[in-house]
Chains A and B, each alone.
Chain A
Amino acid sequence: MLEINFGPQHPSTHGVFRMTVQLEGEKICGLKPVFGYLHRNHEQIAENLPYAAIMTYTDRLDYVNALSNNFGYALTVEKLAGLEVPERAQYIRIIMAELARIVNHIAVIGFMLNDLGAFFTPLLYAFRERERILDLFEAVTGSRLMNNYFCFSGVKRDLTDANLAVIKKMILKFPAFLEEFEALLTKNEILCMRCQNIGILSGETATNAGITGPVLRASGVNYDIRKVDRYGIYDRFDFKIPLGQKGDVYDRFYVRVLEIRESLKILDQALTQIPQGEIINKKSLSILKMPRNFKPPVGEAYGRVESPKGELGFYVVSDGTPQPWRYHVRAPSLINLTVLEEMCLGQKIADAIIILGSIDIVLGETDR
């Protein structure tokens, strides 16, 4: 019996995540995740800030796709304060959030392949495509990762026609890249050997353990908040939810590939439907200019979005002051780790790494 610390400094724990692993030979017979190495008490920081300023901190939760976090938080506060979002802004939000989903998914697949031992090739192919989207983010939001783009009842900057043309071009090119990517990966015997029937998670366990996102859908549970809550204007788009068969690592990997395809569909529809108009409600402009004058009515709201990692929830309690009384983030990265030990038991060490990779955590969100 050998006890090994994976992390907090380890090449493939995706940050400063740490798990203590008990090994018997190469087999795992015990695994305990240890959290908190990146803990910065996000919630307390937020409770001392005006509502609009918290948006900048939500970027730093899941720093791979800040826009989904922005979306979730904006949605929650809008629910709390009863704000309306103009039509064009709704479309822009969907476009940006879906682009963020693509960014996240291809990055995850790339990193997972790196965990499998592919020497950076899939990762760099993925990053090549990600780069185009990040360039677009830079042009639109001003920053590549820490976008800080959404504001209450709208977005901060408009998508110009040039931006839209760039996105359109990107959508046209993306399937070719996916084809290439799949030719490199999905039928690869080594990858199939490594991923199939590894880290199986049954649908019931996943539901009970509150697993959400692609991990849940890979286990065959049809639950996508975009379809269930129909937040924003997701009810206007025609897209499908890919479901896995077995709930193993391969399914999680492939469900993500399919979700990218669905996201492309949504983007395509959004780009054709997007109307002209305001990008921010005139009434809410003052929130942007004077954040401390924005005082939502006393009450509470729980808003959630389908972030690429799973259900990202924000629980905000207002006491009528400029700062929230209570602000809580339901982090999918954290809760999806509940079943890590169960999935890893009896597998090899190498599998634990890819199981962790397939759950897709970002430490900024896990530890908050």
Chain B
Amino acid sequence: MTLFGWGVLKGMGVTFKNFLTSYFRKPDEGGIFTVQYPEEREGTAENYRNFPFLVYDGAPEKIRCVACGICERECPPKCIHIEMELDAAGKPARKPAVFDIDYGLCMNCGMCEEVCPFDSIFMDHAFEVAAPERQIGLVRHKKELLKSNEYFREIRPALASAIDQKRKAVEEKKKAAAQPASSQSSGGTGSL
């Protein structure tokens, strides 16, 4: 029979050990595990996904999105709203006039990123999105959603470079195709 009260004392020993190690050990070896958030930050993993954003190349006018509306249709909580821009003749300009995402509804599932055939919508790393008001404050319009490809490359280098390469290849193919059969635009089909 073990001594009565031994288990209790052993437990106290464990907590005491942790108390001591919290002063002079590294976090991985039993030290303090806290990250002092606003000052210290843990780097986010590349795959980390938060809210979606739109990628443009170079200037905000050169937006990749063609307002096809696939993400709008596939979004499970239906938080995306897209309206096609019409040119002077009233024809669709293959560009979104309105692109709103309600961050209050979005559940960060990443479906939009998966279904987008034009590599234009991706999940952002920025998680400090607070707004004083739910209805208006959390709805992000096109202006706020647009972010440059450089930013994209910065937060998700591997994916961005893969997509850049793919787009380049498609572009070159298009060019090669365009030279013999001059001026036959084939649209930006960059799907897999």
B76 touches A184 (CB 8 A): no
Q: A157-B47, A184-B14, A289-B115 are in contact. Are A146 and B108 (CB under 8 A)?
A: yes
Nearest-CB residue, chain B, relative to A129: B33
Which residues does chain B contribute within 8 Å of A139, judged by CB atoms?
45-48
B44 contacts partner chain A, Cβ-Cβ < 8 Å: yes
Alpha-carbon separation in the docked complex, A251 to B107 (Å): 38
Task: Describe A's contact surface by its main secondary structure.
Answer: helix
Q: How many A-B residue pairs lie within 8 Å, measured between CB atoms?
A: 87
Name which of B2-10, B54-62, B95-103, B168-176 contacts chain A. B2-10
Nearest-CB residue, chain A, relative to B35: A131
A187 touches B48 (CB 8 A): no
Query: Out of B2, B4, B6, B47, which one reaches A142, CB within 8 Å?
Result: B47
**Contact digits for B41-84, partner A, Cβ 8 Å, 1 yes 0 no:** 01011111100000000000000000000000110100000000
B47 touches A187 (CB 8 A): no
B47 touches A138 (CB 8 A): yes
A290 contacts partner chain B, Cβ-Cβ < 8 Å: yes
Task: Describe B's contact surface by its main secondary structure.
Answer: loop
B117 touches A142 (CB 8 A): no
A184 touches B11 (CB 8 A): yes
Please report the total number of B residues contacting A with Cβ < 8 Å. 34
Which residues does chain A contribute within 8 Å of B2, judged by CB atoms?
187
B25 to chain A, nearest CB (A): 12
**In B170-192, which residues have CB < 8 Å from any A CB?**
191-192
A140 contacts partner chain B, Cβ-Cβ < 8 Å: yes
Alpha-carbon separation in the docked complex, A142 to B5 (Å): 46
A148 contacts partner chain B, Cβ-Cβ < 8 Å: yes
B110 touches A142 (CB 8 A): yes
**Contact digits for A340-351, partner B, Cβ 8 Å, 1 yes 0 no:** 000000000000
Name which of A2-10, A12-20, A48-56, A329-337 contacts chain B. A48-56
A189 touches B14 (CB 8 A): no
Alpha-carbon separation in the docked complex, A190 to B10 (Å): 12
Given A183-B11, A184-B10, 19 more A-B residue pairs with CB atoms under 8 Å apart are: A49-B76, A59-B109, A135-B42, A138-B47, A139-B45, A139-B46, A142-B49, A143-B49, A143-B108, A180-B14, A184-B11, A184-B14, A187-B6, A188-B7, A189-B8, A191-B7, A192-B7, A291-B74, A291-B111
Interface residues of A (CB under 8 A from B): 49-50, 52-53, 56-57, 59-60, 121, 125, 128, 131, 135, 138-143, 146, 148, 156-157, 180, 183-192, 285, 288-292
Interface residues of B (CB under 8 A from A): 2, 4-8, 10-11, 13-15, 18, 33, 42, 44-49, 73-74, 76, 107-111, 114-115, 117, 123, 191-192
